A and B are shown apart, each in its own frame.
Chain A
Amino acid sequence: GQQVMQIPQYQHVQEGEDFTTYCNSSTTLSNIQWYKQRPGGHPVFLIQLVKSGEVKKQKRLTFQFGEAKKNSSLHITATQTTDVGTYFCAGSNTDKLIFGTGTRLQVFP
């Protein structure tokens, strides 16, 4: 079945350092979504990418969708302590959304 892998599983960074998480699908995706889950909270939608090669920015966050629509990345520039949480990608090519395993980000002040 369709699988969506995410790396790394954990990342610890010093405040001000950059952070990137990568998402890879075993099959071509129609779209990819990114969610953030704060500790003790629920996933909250960040963004959706649909087009091959698409790049979107939200302040310090940059999202990319690969040319083959099988991979994606989220890059955070100059992390802040408010960026702490788990970041999930979620891809679909049917009526199901398959979530990646998530990357837990810890930011040390």
Chain B
Amino acid sequence: EAQVTQNPRYLITVTGKKLTVTCSQNMNHEYMSWYRQDPGLGLRQIYYSMNVEVTDKGDVPEGYKVSRKEKRNFPLILESPSPNQTSLYFCASSLNGGLLLETQYFGPGTRLLVL
């Protein structure tokens, strides 16, 4: 089954404790992206990747890192989480990026609480 998976689905952590949220897709998509969703703000893009070893900042990249060493995986790293990073995070992928973005397929989401 074609899908985007994220782990963990739920995470409670404390300020400053490094964490990684994994994202994997099995559709051979080139474009992958991370979003955070907060009430009243919709979905805001954190980072995106057009292909392996190519990553770029989205609208709210501060406090986050990503890597794209393999086509299927796009982990989101919070080196020193802070309470303002408490949010619902979605990973998404699409066949290609570019001017006419393809349909984005979203993972199930990771709900993060930073105390």
Contacts and interface: CB of A to CB of B under 8 A. Distances in A.
Interface of A: 1, 6, 9, 30-31, 33, 35, 41-45, 48, 50, 88, 90, 92-102
Nearest to A9: B40
Contacts of B90: 42-43
Contact of B107 (A9, A30, A31, A42): A42
For A41, A43, A98, A101, which residue has the most chain B Cβ atoms within 10 angstroms? A43
A96 B48 contact: yes
A31 B101 CA distance: 8
For B42, B43, B103, which residue has the most chain A Cβ atoms within 10 angstroms? B42
Contacts of B97: 95
Which size bracket describes the interface of B in this complex? 20 to 34
A33 B103 contact: yes
B105 A45 contact: yes
Interface of B: 33, 35, 40-45, 48, 50, 56, 58-59, 90, 92, 97-101, 103-109
Contacts of A1: 59
B105 A31 contact: no
B99 A94 contact: yes
B45 A96 contact: yes
13 contacts: A33-B104, A41-B108, A43-B106, A44-B106, A88-B43, A92-B99, A92-B101, A95-B99, A95-B101, A96-B58, A99-B45, A100-B42, A102-B42
